[in-house]
Amino acid sequence: MLGMSRAGLAERWTLFVGALLSVALGVALVQSSLLLLISAAGANSDDAAVPMLGITLGGATFLAGFIISSTFAFTVDQRRRDLALLRLVGGSRGQVRRLLLGEALLLGLGGAAIGVPAGLGVMSLQTWLMRRFEFVPPDFVGEWRMWILGVSIGTGVVLALAGVLVAARRAARVRPLEALRESGAAARLMTAGRWVAGLFFLGGALALVIVAPHGGPAGGQAMAMNVAMPAAVTVVAFGPLLVPVLARLMPFGGGVLGALARANVRDARRRSASVAAPLIVLIALVVGNTGAGESFTSSGIGEVARSTHADFVVEAPVPARPGVATVSSETMLPAEIVTGSGEDRETTDVTALAINPRAYAAVHGTPVELTGNGVARGPGGEVPTDGSVRVRLLGLSPGSPGADLGDLPVVAAVPEMMSGGASLLMLPGQVPAALLEKAPTRSFVALEPGADASAVRADLARFGPVSTLGEWLKADAEERNSTNDKVMLVVLGLGGLYALIGVINSMVIGAATRRREFAEARVTGLTRSQVIRSALLEAYAVTGAALLLGALAASAAFFAVLSTTSAVTGTATLDLPWPLIAAVAAVALTVTGVTSLITSWSATRHPPVTLLAARE
Amino acid sequence: MTTMTMAPPAVALHGVSRVFGRGPSAVRAVDGVTLDFPRGSWTAVMGPSGSGKSTLLHCAAGLERVDAGQVLLGDTDLTVAGDAELTALRRTRIGFVFQSFNLIGALTAEQNVALPLRLAGKRPSRSAVRATLDAVGLADRARHKPRELSGGQQQRVAIARAMVTRPEVLFADEPTGALDSTAARTVLDLLRAMADAGQSIVMVTHDPGAAARADAVVFLRDGRVVDRLAGADARAVADRLAAWER
Ligand SMILES: Nc1ncnc2c1ncn2[C@@H]1O[C@H](COP(=O)(O)OP(=O)(O)OP(=O)(O)O)[C@@H](O)[C@H]1O
Ligand SMILES: [Mg+2]
């Protein structure tokens, strides 16, 4: 059987190059993310880096599994006729299965062989991005581990075998008679597996959408950010039903070419669905997650704007001044809290805020009572609302001494906020003077009624940089959004590129098996350029459908965003990155258009007779 | 003649029906056909286009499920056989040749011929495979791929592939349908020689000339057997066909 596998590989090389590429890039992406995660966890780098790399690794594994299995299923689908022929001359179901698994094994090993060195390239790219955005220190390097060889080869083989498993079972049931039909009977559109997967992930997405508003600010955001993925899988699973329906609604223009393209979209449902699948995932992940991220930022900023009763923000301590009604000077101290004990002991890095409770309450509109040695849970959460926590204040620079404050009772709590903030509120008296003096302090200043704002601003400027509350909020929003964008770029950038390559892959595979169809169209009287234009129209219709379906999956995430922001802040907020959405749509249309042109141009290179004469 | 009728038929159909579709648009492609294909003899099946010839052949070969009736290959009932049993039959007792030669493009002529044996888990000797190719006159093309062969040559490779397992019955659906008259004659000569050597052959054809090479001709119309001729020449077959096509 392995001999057959080899001969098959050599013959249908375009199909297999596509499958090989999908395995190689998947392995490279997973390997790089895993090595970086391990290096970052060991190197004690920026706190943001480790969870971010964790998400990157999860996303890479999901994408690799998804793209590889859909590519493999598609290649198997395209070869139904070959497989039926094998059955006709005496091949058993088991032999068909073993043939496909044998091929997958070869592709898995081959993909890993290419993926391991390619992974080093991907890793240097990812490292460069992370250093550039200062998620890791400039001297951070992803380290090579010998055992990663085993992991990567295993990843390649397991993903390839798992990817082909379902397709192989399906293919083994192909009827020998299908070898006698010219184009091979169309496989059934919706298999049981598709229904099961579709409904399973639909359930997952729905559960997240329903639970997110009850998850509090942090939990709700995390859940909403995770809706896009299962929603995309749901839409993809139902793709063979949804894609052709939507694609036929696209404007084809009149004329015979439009009619031909429309007929092709309807006839080749599985091909349309296979091309659309990676595109749907790409759109859903990029648009859904950046949209959710941006919305949560706006929601947080809006919440702060509504709840903060101050006119100026000064980046320094401010004493009582003429014209000033209230000053809440808040000193930010990095801290470490320990909760639980024994097995459940947990250390968390937080920010503690040394405050004046009365001024804090007046400015932020929420009462805080701090008594004795007690602390309050701040708007950032992460601290239990009662009991006690062990608090250790950290030095302000690496190596400088901190202070262990021991176990402190939690005596109050302010509501958690969307935008987070400090997790601990305490009195300045609890902080050693040496730390308090050096730590950065921000003062929220509320004016007396009738005070001359510009005079007070000039007065305050003597203490430190002054901005109005509006200016300060705007700068804060910009910074958060830019951090957001950077995180998205690190997490989704390469994954998005991989999904895009998956799209190209499916189109190349689809075109490779269409040479005969194109030749038939040409002997029927179409010119070469008409064939190419009709294929282009078809590609645009499928891309358009994929964009809509990707947007549908993303809007499930937006639904969770709206309900979560409404539950947490009282105002439902959705703020979409339109330029990014437009850019992604433009890239998708360009890539599919160019790919369609190139593939159909190359598939029509030879005069049609040479193709129609070959009867294999 | 008496011994011919006494011997059990190679394939026997009893009241076989195959219906495509449901309701008013249902097509009875094969409609209650009872028919014996005698052992060691070559039977041609003729009839107008759409009369159910291919469907009948597929049912007789166990490639198509039947909706009613029974198909016996020797004493094996194909209508109750499971997939594994039918697969085993295709490897050992049934051979196929089709109008579009259905060779595997990735494999050479030799590899295509050896394929059924290898699928059956045998290690075919090169000489046995060469001998089979030699029998169809293609010993010198063993290492060519299908696309490097002419249509007639491809069809002869397909016949060699069907014969390499020494099947009890060879089923052929318009084996000369895509060939010019010279190539067709070569193929028909080959089949004639095989039938003379005792091979049972069931062949669907449009061509009265091809049918006249067979031992008997069965005429089909609207899924039913309407006539049967034995030992007729091409003109007689053509006249009869014309009568039924009217
Ligand atoms: N898979 C199928 N699904 C539906 N109808 C079918 C199918 N196969 C055959 N038919 C119908 O059954 C009837 C007989 O078809 P069949 O292919 O057996 O005809 P035929 O005698 O071989 O014709 P031809 O000489 O043109 O090859 C036709 O009306 C055809 O439309
Ligand atoms: Mg036919």
Per-residue DSSP letters for A462-474? TTS-EEEHHHHHH
Q: Output the CA angle A501-A290-A471, nearest 5 degrees.
A: 145
pLDDT higher than threshold 80 for residue A191: no
Are both B141 and B235 inside the same structural domain? no
Calculate helix-pair angle for B83-92, A80-88, nearest 10 degrees: 70
Q: Which amino acid is at A79?
A: R
pLDDT higher than threshold 60 for residue A616: no
State the best of B111, B119, B148, B159 to mutate against chain A, taking most chain A CBs within 10 Å. Answer: B119
Q: Kindly list the residues from chain A whose CB atom is less than 8 angstroms away from the CB atom of residue B173.
A: 180
Sign of the four-CA dihedral A414, A418, A419, A423: positive
A-B contacts (CB, under 8 Å): 71
CA distance A487 to A475: 18
Banded model confidence at residue A187, pLDDT cuts 50, 70, 90: low
Please name the member of B103, B111, B119 whose beta carbon is closest to the beta carbon of A616: B103
**pLDDT computed for residue A609 by the predictor:** 65
Under an 8 A CB cutoff, do A89 and B103 touch?
Answer: no
Half-sphere exposure at residue A45, Cβ-oriented, CA atoms within 13 angstroms: 26
Residue B98 Cα to ligand 2 middle (Å):
10
Give the bridge partners for B42, in sequence order. Answer: B201
Q: Three-state DSSP class for B81?
A: coil
Is there an atom of ligand 1 within 6 Å of B129 CB?
no
Are both B49 and B145 inside the same structural domain? no
**pLDDT computed for residue B214 by the predictor:** 93
Banded model confidence at residue A341, pLDDT cuts 50, 70, 90: confident
Q: Which helix (H) or strand (E) holds B19?
A: strand B11-20
CA distance A540 to A533: 10
Task: List C-alpha distances in Å: B142 to A288, B110, B127, B131, B148.
Answer: 58, 5, 11, 11, 11
The answer to whether position B98 is within a domain reads no
**pLDDT computed for residue A55 by the predictor:** 81
- Asked if residue A473 lies in contact with residue A305, where contact means CB atoms within 8 angstroms, the answer is yes
Q: Residue B231 maps to which CATH number?
A: 3.40.50.300
Banded model confidence at residue A508, pLDDT cuts 50, 70, 90: confident
Of all residues in chain A, the percent with pLDDT exceeding 90 is 22
Is there an atom of ligand 1 within 6 Å of B20 CB?
yes
CA distance A484 to A87: 54
The answer to whether position B13 is within a domain reads yes
Are both B28 and B46 inside the same structural domain? yes
Q: Three-state DSSP class for A253?
A: coil
**pLDDT computed for residue A610 by the predictor:** 62
Q: Kindly list the residues from chain B whose CB atom is less than 8 angstroms away from the CB atom of residue A12.
A: 106
Concatenate the DSSP letters of all residues of A109-140 into one string.
HHHHHHHHHHHHHHHHHHHHHHHHTTSS-TT-
Q: Would you state the torsion angle of the CA atoms of residues B40, B46, B51, B54, taken in this order, to the nearest 10 degrees?
A: 50
Residue B53 Cα to ligand 2 middle (Å):
6
Report chain A's terminal Cα–Cα distance, integer Å.
20
Is there an atom of ligand 1 within 6 Å of B29 CB?
yes
DSSP 8-state symbol, B9: P
Q: What is the mean pLDDT of residues A464-487?
A: 85
Sign of the four-CA dihedral A595, A599, A604, A606: positive
Concatenate the DSSP letters of all residues of A359-401 into one string.
HHHHHHS------TT-EEE-TT--S-SSSEEEEEEPPSSTTS-
Q: Which amino acid is at A357?
A: P
Residue B27 Cα to ligand 1 middle (Å):
9
A145 touches chain B (CB under 8 A): no
Under an 8 A CB cutoff, do B101 and A616 touch?
Answer: yes
**pLDDT computed for residue B1 by the predictor:** 42
Q: What are the percentages of helix, strand and coil residues in chain A, rounded to 5?
A: 65, 10, 25
CA distance A564 to A566: 5
Q: Which residue of A has its CA nearest to B159?
A: A89
pLDDT higher than threshold 50 for residue A184: no
Q: What is the mean pLDDT of residues A136-146?
A: 83
The answer to whether position B57 is within a domain reads yes
By mean pLDDT, which of A12-26, A39-53, A97-111, A434-448 is the weakest? Answer: A39-53
Are both B73 and B181 inside the same structural domain? yes
A95 touches chain B (CB under 8 A): yes
State the nearest Cα–Cα gap between B124 and chain A, in angstroms. 14
Ligand having the closest approach to the CA of B47: 1
The answer to whether position B89 is within a domain reads yes
Ligand having the closest approach to the CA of B21: 1
**pLDDT computed for residue B6 by the predictor:** 58
Please name the member of B96, B105, B119 whose beta carbon is closest to the beta carbon of A616: B105
**pLDDT computed for residue A612 by the predictor:** 60
Residue B173 Cα to ligand 1 middle (Å):
13
State the nearest Cα–Cα gap between B24 and chain A, in angstroms. 24
Report chain B's terminal Cα–Cα distance, integer Å.
33
Residue B86 C-alpha from the chain's centroid: 16
**pLDDT computed for residue A11 by the predictor:** 57
Dihedrals phi, psi of A456, to nearest 5 degrees: -65, -40
Both structure tokens of A328: 């809440």
Ligand having the closest approach to the CA of B31: 1
Q: What is the mean pLDDT of residues A408-425?
A: 85
Structural domain count of chain B: 2
pLDDT higher than threshold 80 for residue A183: no
Under an 8 A CB cutoff, do B104 and A85 touch?
Answer: yes
- Atom 1 of ligand 1 has which residue's CA nearest to it? B20
Q: Which residue of A has its CA nearest to B163?
A: A89
Q: What is the mean pLDDT of residues A266-284?
A: 87
**Pick from B110, B165, B102: which is nearest to A90 by CA?**
B165
**pLDDT computed for residue A126 by the predictor:** 87
Low-confidence spans in chain B with pLDDT less than 70: 1-6
- Atom 3 of ligand 1 has which residue's CA nearest to it? B20
Are both B192 and B158 inside the same structural domain? no
CA distance B17 to B39: 23
Are both B59 and B175 inside the same structural domain? yes
Quick: pLDDT tens for A210-231.
999 998 888 888 888 889 989 9
- Asked if residue A518 lies in contact with residue A604, where contact means CB atoms within 8 angstroms, the answer is yes
Pairing of the two strands A403-413 and A441-447: unpaired
Can you point out the beta strands (E) in A427-547? 441-447, 466-468
Alpha helices (H) along A173-238 = 192-211, 216-225, 228-237
Q: What letters, b where the CB count within 10 A reaches 16 and e where it falls short, cover A533-545? A: bbbbbbbbbbbbb
Both structure tokens of B173: 């659906």
Are both B131 and B145 inside the same structural domain? yes
- Asked if residue A286 lies in contact with residue A580, where contact means CB atoms within 8 angstroms, the answer is yes
| Longest distance between any two alpha carbons in chain A, whole Å | 98
Both structure tokens of B63: 């490639």
State the nearest Cα–Cα gap between B241 and chain A, in angstroms. 26
Pairing of the two strands A375-377 and A346-354: unpaired
Are both B40 and B78 inside the same structural domain? yes
Is there an atom of ligand 1 within 6 Å of B55 CB?
yes
CA distance B108 to B189: 24
Residue B50 Cα to ligand 2 middle (Å):
7
Banded model confidence at residue A44, pLDDT cuts 50, 70, 90: low
**Pick from A466, A408, A403: which is nearest to A438 by CA?**
A403
**pLDDT computed for residue A613 by the predictor:** 54
Dihedrals phi, psi of B158, to nearest 5 degrees: -65, -40
CA distance A514 to A226: 38
Ligand having the closest approach to the CA of B58: 1
**Pick from B121, B42, B124: which is nearest to B87 by CA?**
B121
Q: Kindly list the residues from chain B whose CB atom is less than 8 angstroms away from the CB atom of residue A89.
A: 90, 96, 115-116, 119, 161
B219 vs A174, residue with greater confidence: B219
pLDDT higher than threshold 90 for residue A594: yes
pLDDT higher than threshold 70 for residue A188: no
Are both B218 and B148 inside the same structural domain? no
Are both B45 and B148 inside the same structural domain? no
Pairing of the two strands B42-46 and B200-204: parallel
CA distance A271 to A261: 13
Is there an atom of ligand 1 within 6 Å of B53 CB?
yes
Domain of B40 in residue numbering reads as: 3-93+167-245
Q: Kindly list the residues from chain A whose CB atom is less than 8 angstroms away from the CB atom of residue B144.
A: none
Q: Which helix (H) or strand (E) holds A50?
A: helix A49-78
Task: List C-alpha distances in Å: A428 to A119, A327, A439.
Answer: 51, 15, 11
Banded model confidence at residue A7, pLDDT cuts 50, 70, 90: low
Q: What is the mean pLDDT of residues A185-200?
A: 78
Residue A317 Cα to ligand 2 middle (Å):
94
The answer to whether position B210 is within a domain reads yes
Concatenate the DSSP letters of all residues of A80-116 into one string.
HHHHHHHHHTT--HHHHHHHHHHHHHHHHHHHHHHHH
**pLDDT computed for residue B169 by the predictor:** 95
Q: For residue B246, give every residue at least 6 positions away whose Cβ sits within 8 Å of its Cβ, in sequence order, or none.
A: none
Banded model confidence at residue A134, pLDDT cuts 50, 70, 90: confident
Residue B59 C-alpha from the chain's centroid: 12
Both structure tokens of A603: 């598939």
**pLDDT computed for residue A220 by the predictor:** 87
Residue A615 Cα to ligand 2 middle (Å):
17
Q: What is the mean pLDDT of residues A309-315?
A: 90
Hey, how many other C-beta atoms are within 10 angstroms of the C-beta on A307?
15
**pLDDT computed for residue A615 by the predictor:** 45
Enumerate chain B positions whose Cβ falls within 8 A of a Cβ in A.
Answer: 58, 63-64, 83-84, 87, 90-91, 96, 98, 100-107, 111, 115-116, 119-120, 146-147, 151, 154, 161, 165, 173, 178
Residue A604 Cα to ligand 1 middle (Å):
32
The answer to whether position B99 is within a domain reads no
CA distance A256 to A264: 12
Hey, how many other C-beta atoms are within 10 angstroms of the C-beta on B36?
16
Dihedrals phi, psi of A448, to nearest 5 degrees: -75, 150
Residue whose token pair is 């090389």: A13
Are both B121 and B241 inside the same structural domain? no
Is there an atom of ligand 1 within 6 Å of B54 CB?
yes
Are both B65 and B186 inside the same structural domain? yes
DSSP 8-state symbol, B117: H
Residue B20 C-alpha from the chain's centroid: 22
A residues 152-181 closer than 8 Å to B (CB): 175-177, 179-180
Ligand having the closest approach to the CA of B26: 1
CA distance B111 to B30: 36
DSSP 8-state symbol, A524: T
